[in-house]
Amino acid sequence: MKKNIIAFLSISSLLFSSTLLAAPEKDQQKPLIILDTKIQPGSDTSLQWNSGQNFNSLDWNTPVIVKHGLNPGPIMCMTSTLHGDEINGIEVIRRVFKALNVNEMHGSVVGVPIVNLDGFLRNTRYLSDRSDLNRFFPGKENGSTAQRVAYSLFNEIITRCDLLLDLHTGSLHRNNVPQVRANLKLESIKEIIDGLSDLTIVHSEGNAGMLRNAANDIGIPAVTLEIGGPFLFDRKGVEEGTESILNLISYLEITRKFSFFPQAKATFNISTWVNSDYAGIYMSDVSIGQNVSKGDIIGRVADPISNKEDIIASPFDGKVIGLALDQFIHTGFAIAHIARQTDEKEIDSSPKLDESLPIPDVERDD
Ligand SMILES: [Zn+2]
């Protein structure tokens, strides 16, 4: 499919009006001030972020890596591992940074590969106070632990960004096809969506407390990238995500290499989790990324004692963007996340899953 895409050498600015594209050549790049550090143009450096919630004598810092280009342009930020068990984004950020040369850059890239180092070191999604960090942005200076960590990240780093990619994975034995979750009602994110090549796009307004929502609320265009599942390194997904982000960097003219024209992408305006009405051994009949029709069998649940087997069918046509691994499940377990397209009117009435009831964190995996 890639062979059919015609690459154009940095002509996108002739064709699209833009708010994020790099500044004209004549402008001088300025030092970037972040985490109380003045970074000179053309610098490739690593800083330390500390949200200050630990003993001074027994503390850890979170690395923040910066490539501050020689020439002026947008500051693109990437965050990963707000959930400590989500590791694919760490590798995506490493690969993106490896591909960039500050002397050729018109703009800057800032990466925080392991935001929730606390959870990462303990192999868990959560902070040590058992809270989900991605529900507490923009945070509170004198609030709970999670609110303070969120406040520190948001004010020390995120406010310096011109755009933000927040990298996640599926949660609790579930995989996500590489996908962008974004509030498609926001005009400000259009350039990001156009520049990210070849990923499935899912409309999602997110929720109060999510990093991308807090960033969008203060005018920093932000989207979530979902790749694979927790704990596991998904090499193919990492490759797709890295390639897509490098295309965005080129599309924004931070690098002046080949960039692809915005192309029609698989875009969905509603996504819904299918829950199992049965408990037992769950075995999937579909693959991640597969298109399904209403009535297709998604999977089966077998009772290990009685041998009774029940079938779970898709309630509508769509694409499987998230899928549970084969495992033992209880009733109500979310087994498949199906995205679909509807007419424009339905975007406005699309449920945020269910506003009347709290949604389990695991089913709102970003
Ligand atoms: Zn996550």
Q: Output the tens digit of pLDDT for each of the chain's 366 residues.
A: 333 333 433 334 334 445 776 666 568 999 999 999 999 999 999 999 998 877 666 678 999 999 999 999 999 999 999 999 999 999 999 999 999 999 999 999 999 999 999 999 999 999 988 999 999 999 999 999 999 999 999 999 999 999 999 999 998 888 999 999 999 999 999 999 999 988 999 999 998 999 999 999 999 999 999 999 998 899 999 999 999 999 999 999 999 876 666 666 789 999 999 999 999 999 999 999 999 999 999 999 999 999 999 999 999 999 999 999 999 999 999 999 999 987 655 444 444 444 455 566 656 678
d(CA 207, ligand 1 centre) in Å: 13
Q: How far apart are the first and last CA of the chain?
A: 29
d(CA 88, ligand 1 centre) in Å: 11
- Write the CATH number of the domain with boundaries 269-345: 2.40.50.100
d(CA 258, ligand 1 centre) in Å: 31
Residue type, 277: D
d(CA 329, ligand 1 centre) in Å: 21
Residue type, 138: P
> Which pTM value belongs to this model?
0.88
Q: What is the pLDDT of residue 60?
A: 80
| CA 340 – CA 31 distance, rounded (Å) | 45
Q: Are strands 280-284 and 327-329 parallel, antiparallel or unpaired?
A: antiparallel
Q: Report the sign of the C-alpha dihedral through residues 318, 186, 188, 153, in that order.
A: negative
d(CA 97, ligand 1 centre) in Å: 21
Q: What is the DSSP string of 12-80?
A: HHHHS--SSSPPPTTSPP--EEETTEEE-TTEEEEEEE--S-S-TTS---EEEEEEE-SEEEEEEEEEE
Sequence-ordered alpha helix ranges (H) in 210-344? 211-217, 235-251
Q: What is the pLDDT of residue 64?
A: 98
d(CA 147, ligand 1 centre) in Å: 17
Domain ranges of the chain: 2-260, 269-345
d(CA 76, ligand 1 centre) in Å: 20
Strands (E), 303-356: 309-313, 318-324, 327-329, 334-340
d(CA 319, ligand 1 centre) in Å: 21
Q: What is the pLDDT of residue 27?
A: 80
Q: What is the pLDDT of residue 10?
A: 38
Task: Tell the residue number behind the tokens 């949604």, with chain if given.
Answer: 359
- Cα torsion through 21, 212, 183, 264, rounded to 10: 50
> CA angle 67-72-75, nearest 5°?
50
Contacts of 279 (CB under 8 A, 6+ apart): 301, 303, 329, 330, 331
d(CA 134, ligand 1 centre) in Å: 8
Q: What is the pLDDT of residue 17?
A: 45
Instruction: Return the CA Rg of the chain.
Output: 21
d(CA 87, ligand 1 centre) in Å: 10
Contacts of 53 (CB under 8 A, 6+ apart): 145, 148, 149
Q: What is the pLDDT of residue 171?
A: 86
Q: What is the pLDDT of residue 197?
A: 81
Task: Tell me the fold of 2-260.
Answer: Aminopeptidase (3.40.630)
Can you say whether residue 107 is alpha, beta or left, with left for phi > 0 and alpha for psi between -120 and 50 degrees? left
Is residue 112 within 8 A of residue 128, CB to CB? The reply is: no
d(CA 309, ligand 1 centre) in Å: 33
- Exposure string of 331-348, with b = 16+ CB inside 10 Å and e = fewer, is eebbbbbbbbeeeeeeee
Sequence-ordered alpha helix ranges (H) in the chain? 12-15, 88-98, 117-121, 145-156, 190-195, 211-217, 235-251, 345-349
Contacts 24+ apart (CB under 8 A), 354-360: 360/334
| CA 112 – CA 166 distance, rounded (Å) | 10
Biggest alpha carbon–alpha carbon distance for the chain: 76
